Structure 1
Amino acid sequence: MLMYYAILIIGVLLVIVALFTFIAMYSGKDYTILNVGKILLALLLGVLCLVITLPSLKYVVLKEYDVVSGKCVIEIDSSGRTSEADLKMLNIDEVFSFRDIPALDAYGKSIPYYCEVTVTKDHEFGVSYKIYDAKTRKLILTSK
Structure 2
Amino acid sequence: MNAEIITYFFILLLAVSFVLPACYLLVLHFDNKQYSFFKKLKWTALLLLGLLLLWMTLPSFTEMISRDYQLSEGGCFLKVVDSKSTTTEVTFSETNNTFSFRDAPDLDAYDEKIPYYCQVTTTRNGEFEIDYRVYDKDTKKLLYAN
Alignment TM class, shorter chain as reference: 0.7 to 0.9
Distance 2:85 2:27 in 1: 37
**More moved, 53-62 vs 2-11:** 2-11
Q: Give the equivalent residue in structure 1 for 2:46.
A: 42
Identity fraction in percent:
33
Q: Give the equivalent residue in structure 1 for 2:139.
A: 136
**More moved, 56-65 vs 24-33:** 24-33
Q: So what's the TM-score if we normalise by structure 1?
A: 0.84
Q: Give the equivalent residue in structure 2 for 1:96.
A: 99
Residues 1:3 and 2:4 are matched in the alignment? no
Q: Secondary structure at the match of 2:30?
A: helix
Q: 1:101-116 maps to which residues of 2 (within 5 A)?
A: 101-104=104-107, 107-110=108-111, 111-116=114-119
**More moved, 8-17 vs 85-94:** 85-94
- Residue of structure 1 aligned with 2:23, choices 19, 26, 38: 19
Conservation of the 8 A alpha-carbon contact between 1:96 and 1:125: no
Quote how far apart the aligned CAs of 1:7 are.
1.3
Q: How many residues align?
A: 140
Unaligned runs of 5+ in 1: none
Unaligned runs of 5+ in 2: none
**More moved, 30-39 vs 53-62:** 30-39
C-alpha RMSD of matched pairs (Å): 2.1
Distance 2:91 2:37 in 1: 45
Q: Give the equivalent residue in structure 2 for 1:51.
A: 55
Q: 1:82-93 maps to which residues of 2 (within 5 A)?
A: 82-93=85-96
Distance 1:98 1:31 in 2: 44
Q: So what's the TM-score if we normalise by structure 2?
A: 0.83
